[in-house]
Amino acid sequence: MTQTVKAAKTEKTEAAKVFPFPAFDLSKFEMLKFEMPKFDGAGFDMSKLEVPAALREQTEKVVGQMKEGYAKLKAAAEETTDLVEDTYATASTGVKDFNMKALELTRANMNASFDHARDLMGVKSLAEVIELQSAYLRKQFETMQAQTKELSSIAQKTATDTFEPVKGKVEKAFANAGK
């Protein structure tokens, strides 16, 4: 390591011989001395500062607009919250009605199946089995069509009741936005 330092010093000395720089006596050069101005915050009285009337009016106007915008935003948020709550309640009621009806129809179908099985147990001939089975299938097909109509009616009513208020609010919002 010492050899590296000596080699670097030798290179500097050789460079100084090739490019001679004048010697400066730094003691002759003085750094400028100055003091930073002191700011006394307590001595600075804001009450003496005058704000131009135009700036004051503009500031009051902007603050008024911000308050008005906030009030509108708050009212819209409250309306939206109420709408979501009402929509959820309507949808929940509709889904509950649909599920109750589906359970009722399932119970009726199960009872019909058990009745059919009981009837099949008392059959004496193959012709009676075919007759009972075809009558049962025909009746169940008609029943299933009626049940499907009932359930789809409940689902459609639930969808309409749920989304009609939303549709109205969205139309009202677009109408207000266009003003």
**Cα dihedral across residues 51, 57, 61, 67: positive or negative:** positive
Task: Report the pLDDT value the prediction gives residue 78, as an integer from 0 to 100.
Answer: 87
Per-block average pLDDT, block size 10, for the chain (179 residues)? 54 57 64 69 65 85 92 86 89 94 96 94 92 95 96 94 86 70
Task: Report the pLDDT value the prediction gives residue 139, as an integer from 0 to 100.
Answer: 96
Task: Report the pLDDT value the prediction gives residue 55, as an integer from 0 to 100.
Answer: 85
Task: Report the pLDDT value the prediction gives residue 66, as an integer from 0 to 100.
Answer: 94
Task: Report the pLDDT value the prediction gives residue 99, as an integer from 0 to 100.
Answer: 96
3-state helix, strand and coil shares in percent for the chain, rounded to the nearest 5: 80, 0, 20
Q: Count of CB atoms within 10 A of residue 112's CB?
A: 14
Instruction: Round to whole Å and give the CA distance between 149 and 101.
Output: 12
Instruction: Round to whole Å and give the CA distance between 138 and 130.
Output: 12
Task: Report the pLDDT value the prediction gives residue 119, as an integer from 0 to 100.
Answer: 93
Instruction: Round to whole Å and give the CA distance between 141 and 135.
Output: 10
Instruction: Round to whole Å and give the CA distance between 179 and 174.
Output: 9
